[in-house]
């Protein structure tokens, strides 16, 4: 779950899209099969496309009861998406996909792998009218595209994070959206494990939405290596600060200053696990076991 960085040419690509003109143009051709039937529903199709952005900005999701059924046009609409072309004015599909792939921009769903494809936020199998709508095409990695599949997204919170319409930056001024609960020796031969969850200070529905996404996108599994490596390093730093305080080598004021500097957010990073881990170890009481641990990895005297 990460802010989607913008490729340098994405604005020019999107500014060149005229969806009304594209619809008129693609409906003027004799193929694919079923296009003549879709042509009869041109007004309804345009109404759906126009309403999408308005409703998403208002609610963050579409109202299931207000969406028209275009399943009878599914084959034709999927054909149009899968065959982008300049003559149909749908070449922007390939251009958007390539812009994110060329710059190696990380997937907004998992924050691990680079974007390689486009996900239909609302599945083209269920809502084919949005199969070529730019606002419904989320750049993402192949794994997330496969894992998300055709999951429905008509709920306030039971849906994947949408980088185009879900803006939680207002909650991130001093605290991360996510926190991590670390567990010592949860299983034989396992030194540490963890649970990622939404910050408990967030509004209720925001927490539910973030937690749904964490689980559905397998965030904990995807970031295991970076979280584990950062945990041991940060925990050692904090233990060292505590030892300096206990030995009276530093005052409580200096100790508090060290902790405050330690959990300062890095504004240059939009998905800063180091910040999340530092905040979690300093601010979440249940993680204080690190100061009592007998783990050799946390024994600074060895």
For the chain, which residues make up each domain, given as ranges?
A: 10-148, 169-298
Least confident of 5-14, 133-142, 180-189: 180-189
Quick check: 267 pLDDT over 70? no
Quick check: 232 pLDDT over 70? yes
Region 239-254: mean pLDDT is 96
Residue 36: what pLDDT?
A: 96
Q: Are 255 and 244 spatial neighbours (Cβ–Cβ below 8 Å)? A: yes
Quick check: 268 pLDDT over 60? no
Confidence of residue 172 (pLDDT cuts 50, 70, 90): confident
The number of residues making up the chain comes to: 302
Do you find a cis peptide bond into 32, omega within 30 degrees of 0?
A: yes
Cα–Cα distance, 128 to 131 (Å, whole number): 5
Residue 186: what pLDDT?
A: 73
Cα–Cα distance, 60 to 246 (Å, whole number): 50
Quick check: 269 pLDDT over 60? no
How much of the chain exceeds pLDDT 90, in percent?
Answer: 74
Beta bridge partners of 120: 137
Residue 39: what pLDDT?
A: 97
Least confident of 26-30, 45-49, 187-191: 187-191
Quick check: 302 pLDDT over 60? no
Residue 84: what pLDDT?
A: 97
Q: Are 194 and 180 spatial neighbours (Cβ–Cβ below 8 Å)? A: yes
Q: Which residue has the higher pLDDT, 218 or 120?
A: 120
Quick check: 229 pLDDT over 80? yes
Residue 189: what pLDDT?
A: 73
Q: Which residue has the higher pLDDT, 18 or 171?
A: 18
Q: Name the average pLDDT for the chain.
A: 92
Cα–Cα distance, 153 to 73 (Å, whole number): 21
Across 163-185, b (16+ Cβ under 10 Å) vs e yields: bbbbebeebbeebbbbbbebebe
Residue 301: what pLDDT?
A: 67
Cα–Cα distance, 110 to 126 (Å, whole number): 24
- Exposure of 22 in the CB half-sphere (CA atoms within 13 A): 22
Residue 169: what pLDDT?
A: 83
The number of angstroms, rounded, from the C-alpha of 95 to the middle of its chain's C-alpha atoms is 21
Least confident of 69-73, 94-98, 284-288, 297-301: 297-301
């Amino acid at each position: 779950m990460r802010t989607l960085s913008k490729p340098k040419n994405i604005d020019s690509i999107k500014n060149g899209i005229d969806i009304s003109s594209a619809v008129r143009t693609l409906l003027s051709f004799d193929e694919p099969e079923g296009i003549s039937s879709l042509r009869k529903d041109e007004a309804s199709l345009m109404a759906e496309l126009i309403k999408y952005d308005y409703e998403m900005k208002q609610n963050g999701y579409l109202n299931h009861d207000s969406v028209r059924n275009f399943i009878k046009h599914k084959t034709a609409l999927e054909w149009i998406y899968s065959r982008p072309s300049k003559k149909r004015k749908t070449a922007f599909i390939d251009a958007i996909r390539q812009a994110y792939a060329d710059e190696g921009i990380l997937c907004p769903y998992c924050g691990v792998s680079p974007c390689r494809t486009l996900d239909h936020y609302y599945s083209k199998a269920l809502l084919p009218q949005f199969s070529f709508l730019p606002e419904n095409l989320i750049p993402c990695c192949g794994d997330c595209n496969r894992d998300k599949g055709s999951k429905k997204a008509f709920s306030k919170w039971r849906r994947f994070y949408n980088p185009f319409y879900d803006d939680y930056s207002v909650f991130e001024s001093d605290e991360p959206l996510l926190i991590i609960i670390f567990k010592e020796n949860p299983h034989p031969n396992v030194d540490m494990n963890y649970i990622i969850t939404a910050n408990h200070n967030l509004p209720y529905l925001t927490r539910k939405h973030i937690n749904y996404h964490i689980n559905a996108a397998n965030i904990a599994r995807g970031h295991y290596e970076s979280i584990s490596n950062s945990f041991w390093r940060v925990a050692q730093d904090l233990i060292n600060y505590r030892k300096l305080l206990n030995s009276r080598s530093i005052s409580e004021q200096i100790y508090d200053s060290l902790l405050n500097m330690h959990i300062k957010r890095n504004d240059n990073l939009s998905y800063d696990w180091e910040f999340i881990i530092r905040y979690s170890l300093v601010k979440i009481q249940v993680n204080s076991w690190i100061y009592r641990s007998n783990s050799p990895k946390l024994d600074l005297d060895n």
